[in-house]
Amino acid sequence: MKTIQKERVSHYEMYIANDGTEFDDRDECKKYDESAAGVLSAMLQKIVVKESNEERLFDFGCSDNLVQVLAPTSEEDKKTILQLYLLKNSLLDDEECNHYVERASKLIDRAIKEKDYLLVGRGYDWDGFWFYGTRHSMQEQLDFFCKPDENKENA
């Protein structure tokens, strides 16, 4: 008697929403596609240049957090990004959080004006939406951080 190994392959259906989100259930996929989040995510996909996760892109962070590189070019793109940002962060509707929305708006404007990329985090299962910054703003932050402290040199 001899023993052999055989491979068994099974197939099953998945449903893919307009923005690429996968569902096991057809009706759930349809509901998502017709929801505000689904519509906005599908619109956002048009300006997504690349996707990765934090760990792969930055060599630190969480492999569960998706990073999207966006290339916004118009007010329509800005509107889509801000609407999704507000939808995913409902606490930003509070007046005390206006500075977050203003910062986001300025980052998007800067990306459009400088024809730069905007990096956003989407979180595990697309459950969040936050801004890392533009490619240029992130470089400026690193340059500033790495600049020697003047007080240390004079001490």
Residues near 30 by Cβ (< 8 Å), separated by ≥ 6? 15
How far apart are the C-alpha atoms of 140 and 155, rounded to whole Å? 26
Question: Does residue 80 share a domain with residue 139?
Answer: yes
Rounded mean pLDDT of the chain? 86
Q: What is the pLDDT of residues 12-39, one digit of tens each?
A: 899 888 777 888 999 988 888 778 888 8
Give residue 107's domain range.
Answer: 48-146
Q: Are 129 and 56 within one domain?
A: yes
Which pTM was predicted? 0.73
Are residues 92 and 33 part of one domain?
no
User: How many domains does the chain divide into?
Assistant: 2
> pLDDT per residue over 75-116, tens digit each?
999 999 999 998 888 888 778 888 999 999 999 999 999 999
Same-domain check for residues 137 and 65: yes
Residue 136 belongs to a domain: yes
59 pLDDT band (50/70/90 cuts)?
Answer: low
Q: Do 61 and 40 belong to one domain?
A: no
| 106 and 38 housed in the same domain | no
Place 47 in a pLDDT band, splitting at 50, 70 and 90: very high
